Amino acid sequence: MTRERLYGWGRTSPSVAEVLAPIASDVENELHRAPRLLARGLGRSYGDAAQLAGGTVLRSSEMATMSPISSDGRVTVEAGVTIDDLIRVGVPQGWFVPVTPGTRQVSVGGAIAADVHGKNHHVEGSFGHHVLSMRLATPRGIISCSPTVESELFWATFGGMGLTGVVLDAELQLIAISSTDVLVDTTRFNNLDAVMNEMSSGDHRYRYSVAWVDCMTTGSSMGRAILTRGDHATESRSELAPPREAKLAVPFNAPSGLLNPLTIRAFNELWFRAAPKQRRDEAQSISSFFHPLDGVRDWNRLYGRKGFVQYQFAVPDTAGETVVDAIKTLSTSKVPSFLAVLKRFGAGTPGPLSFPMPGWTLALDLPVGPSALPGVLDQLDELVTNAGGRVYLAKDARLDPAHFRAMYPRYQEFLAIKHRVDPDDIISSDLARRLELIRK
């Protein structure tokens, strides 16, 4: 039992908690012993979702066993098993994860709690759509749930950011692949309208699709973008081998200011120059297509001591202009931003805190420092709320309670479900307190 300072991936507002790494059968005891408790995976959420100041935090690292994969691609994993583990074990047997976020270093517990989405959300939905059942440890005991058993609790857990209980294990449905290659089409666009038109009309033809948008150019090239789309190759050109480890690492915090408008602009420029105007059926590896950032370990330290925030929002299909307005707001406000990620979403999961909605999602990486930044993001909250959209809690580190309630109007339904299994709010987090989901 040690007191430890816990950060999110953005390294912005750490807090200290008592940190334990129990095996699954000890979780229930901890729930009865600790006055306040939270589960944590690999800390890849950007803000304060996996922190509980002054409380007990259970790391899932000792909950890491995996069943054999059945002949129809089902596997039961403990919550601490990672997407990386699943890919390593599954790929050589011809199985791939149904959904992967932009990094493989995410636990199954974290993937469930945030209901993570990948490049295939517009056709295959989020992680929750591929979980067959799970076991949750709650102050009211261990509860097995699925889309048919305890379904309200099951769905509330997706997007519930760990607040409905500790996921012990889950049964997942994997997808079959016959090659480790992904065949990718790349197209470069000179402005935002052009890329959004192409995504609206053509994304349904691809399993995976994502666009990188430059938020630092203004005028006619505002929002120039690179769109990459693809699917797993069907015939095997290479052996089914697991992806390789990261080769580079950032050993310490870079000086704040290394990433400034100038260097970011230069980076964005290089990125664009490097992309082809148009290329079809290029074979890429799983790593380079799905997890390009995993090639450099601890890259978040490049942002220096002040850290960085990510702002990701979703808006309905009818509010495409909100994406344009958001990028305009940023590009005119002198707040530097790395390439933003733009994607189309399909329907969310049925739970009250589900993030995705049919339409658009945009994610922006922003170094902390510019004095205008907090205000600019408050402005974006207003834009997004008015468009009927919402901010992704797994990335959030600065939303206020009033906008949270407006963006997630079903939050009371969520609390009612939570309170059935946790009437005394034993399960809590810094995020939940910041958003006033929990007051004490």
Task: Give the integer Cα–Cα distance in Å for 297 and 364.
Answer: 20
The least distance separating ligand FAD from the CB of residue 94, rounded to whole angstroms, comes to: 24
Please say which residue, 81 or 222, places its beta carbon nearer to ligand FAD.
81
What, of ligand FAD, another protein, none, does residue 33 touch, CB below 5 to 8 Å by kind? none
Give the dihedral sign, CA 94/100/104/108.
negative
Please report, as residue ranges, which positions from 299 to 358 form the binding site for another protein (by CB under 8 A). 305-307, 309
What, of ligand FAD, another protein, none, does residue 38 touch, CB below 5 to 8 Å by kind? ligand FAD
CB 149: neighbour CB atoms within 10 A? 11
Task: Specify whether the CB–CB gap between 165 and 134 falls below 8 A.
Answer: no
What, of another protein, ligand FAD, none, does residue 247 touch, CB below 5 to 8 Å by kind? none
Amino acid letter for position 186 = T
433 binds another protein (CB under 8 A): yes
428 binds another protein (CB under 8 A): no
Please say which residue, 155 or 408, places its beta carbon nearer to another protein.
408
56 binds another protein (CB under 8 A): no
What, of another protein, ligand FAD, none, does residue 243 touch, CB below 5 to 8 Å by kind? none
What, of ligand FAD, another protein, none, does residue 339 touch, CB below 5 to 8 Å by kind? none
| 299 burial level (CB within 10 Å; 0-12, 13-18, 19+) | middle
The least distance separating ligand FAD from the CB of residue 368, rounded to whole angstroms, comes to: 16
Interacting residues toward ligand FAD by CB under 6 A: 9, 38-45, 49-50, 60, 79, 101-103, 106-107, 109-111, 113-114, 116-118, 161-162, 166-167, 293, 394, 429
Task: Give the integer Cα–Cα distance in Å for 405 and 144.
Answer: 29
430 binds another protein (CB under 8 A): yes
Please say which residue, 167 or 264, places its beta carbon nearer to ligand FAD.
167
Amino acid letter for position 368 = V
Interface region with another protein, contact rule CB under 8 A, candidates 47-55, 83-91, 189-197, 330-338: 47-55
What, of ligand FAD, another protein, none, does residue 359 touch, CB below 5 to 8 Å by kind? none
Q: What is the DSSP string of 265-330?
A: HHHHHHHHHHS-SEEEEEEEEHHHHH-GGGGEETGGGGG-TT-EEEEEEEEEGGGHHHHHHHHHHH
Task: Give the integer Cα–Cα distance in Å for 257 and 369.
Answer: 8
Site string for another protein, 365-404 (x = CB under 8 A): ---xx-x-xx----------------------xxxx----
Q: Estimate to the nearest angstrom the gap between the alpha carbon of 325 and the chain centroid.
A: 23
Amino acid letter for position 355 = F
Task: Give the integer Cα–Cα distance in Å for 213 and 231.
Answer: 21
Number of residues that bind another protein (CB under 8 A): 34
Give the dihedral sign, CA 233/111/409/420.
positive
**Parallel, antiparallel, or unpaired: how do β-strands 56-59 and 15-20 relate?**
parallel
Give residues in contact with another protein (CB under 8 A).
3, 5, 10, 12-17, 47-48, 52-55, 305-307, 309, 368-369, 371, 373-374, 397-400, 430-431, 433-434, 439-440
